[in-house]
Amino acid sequence: MRINFLAAGLAATVFAIAPVTAEEGGRYFPAGEAAIVVGGSPTLPSQQAVSADLDSARPKKDLLDYVVTPSPTEAPKVEAPAAKGPPLPFHTIEGYGGGAITPMAYLVNPPKKGDWLGLPAVAFSNVVAGRKNLQAFTFTENLFGRIELGYGLDRLGLGSLPGDIENATGVDIGRSDVWMHNFNVRGSLLEEGAFGAKWFPAITAGAHFKINEGINSINDKLGGALSSIGYDRPWGVDYTLTASKTIVDTWTLNRPLIVSAGMRDSEASNLGFLGFGGDRHLTFEGNVAYLPTDWLLVAYEFRQKSNQYSQIPGLVGREDNWNAIDVSWIINKNATLTAGWGALGNMVNGNENGAWWLQLKIEF
């Protein structure tokens, strides 16, 4: 299967670009107001502050004051449906909610209150990492506002690796890329502010099933050379646990600051693009995102990497931790355009620092 990613990305740009305007309720944050609800999170600090101010201006009520009995000539009031919030979080290159390379605990595009099925979200990402490149088509769907199903189809262009292998061994591996299928399921364990504690973060757990298309044939062409350094199979499962908290305070200039941190249990080498070993490793990952305006988000991401394989000098080196910076334009309440820069360190056979990427994400 070979999907024309460029065509998919260009086709998505036909969506109209409209500025973010003020709406109330749901996940949408009003223009000029600091409050934002990301990924179906409960009421945030700024919303609570506004509510508290209004409550203090009203006379105190007892329980009976909240019981409304409509008169025979008065129709019952119907609560207006909540407006759609901004299209946050983004899609990672593996196909779940977060930044470019790390997750957030908030889920993508939850359904409206009372519905069980949300609308889908899709994204196309293009990464240029030195001599290598990656294209990712990602898709998510939300159930009950508590479960996120995701799929990511990734193609990694191997750059100079095939030539380096042939120069060192005389073997032509017969391909210039590998593909990976990512099947993701994440569940919201606890919502933000659970147990009545305003400081409590949202907590989400995930399982990420990965299938590599291509690494087995490379190992076979090399006579099992990858197996000799730790390669075990072309598929594996990552497990993630992520906590996210949105902070709005005077020290954040009354703008949303989103802090996420989590752990990943994995046996993948280079996210799975070089296959999977037999040992599981626990690593840390996290991100910090800030919205200085209603239409702009800036973020920093960190992803710790483990070493599944031994080294083959000049061909397979140690994995380095990943660092990334993202800048996103919130085009409207359905679309974001994100640009990023990354220091990825060694990727298989050489350093790929100075990576950059673009992502267009659409929520229906």
Per-residue confidence (pLDDT) for residue 240, from 0 to 100: 98
CB 356 within 8 A of CB 343: no
* 44-48, 186-190, 217-221: least confident range: 44-48
Per-residue confidence (pLDDT) for residue 96, from 0 to 100: 98
Whether the pLDDT of residue 297 is over 90: the answer is yes
* Domain 5-17+81-363 part of CATH 2.40.160.40: yes
Whether the pLDDT of residue 268 is over 50: the answer is yes
Its pTM stands at: 0.79
Per-residue confidence (pLDDT) for residue 81, from 0 to 100: 58
Question: Could you read off the pLDDT of 175-208 as tens digits, one per residue?
Answer: 999 999 999 999 999 999 999 999 999 999 999 9
Whether the pLDDT of residue 250 is over 80: the answer is yes
Confidence of residue 77 (pLDDT cuts 50, 70, 90): low
Per-residue confidence (pLDDT) for residue 176, from 0 to 100: 96
Per-residue confidence (pLDDT) for residue 343, from 0 to 100: 95
Per-residue confidence (pLDDT) for residue 99, from 0 to 100: 96
Select the more confidently predicted residue: 35 or 73: 73
What is the arithmetic mean of pLDDT over 329-345?
A: 96
Percent of the chain with pLDDT over 90: 73
Specify the residue for token string 């083959």.
Answer: 312
- Mean of the per-residue pLDDT values of the chain: 84
Question: Could you read off the pLDDT of 6-44 as tens digits, one per residue?
Answer: 344 434 433 333 343 333 333 433 333 444 445 444 334
Whether the pLDDT of residue 1 is over 80: the answer is no
**Cα distance between residue 140 and residue 329, in whole Å:** 20
Domain map (residue ranges) of the chain? 5-17+81-363
What is the arithmetic mean of pLDDT over 251-280?
A: 97
Burial 86-123 (b: 16+ CB within 10 A, else e): bbbbbbbbbbbbbbbbbbbbbbbbbbeeeeeebeebbb
Select the more confidently predicted residue: 77 or 357: 357
Question: Could you read off the pLDDT of 78-96 as tens digits, one per residue?
Answer: 555 566 778 999 999 999 9
**Helix, strand, or coil (residue 23):** coil
CB 330 within 8 A of CB 296: yes
Amino acid at 260: S
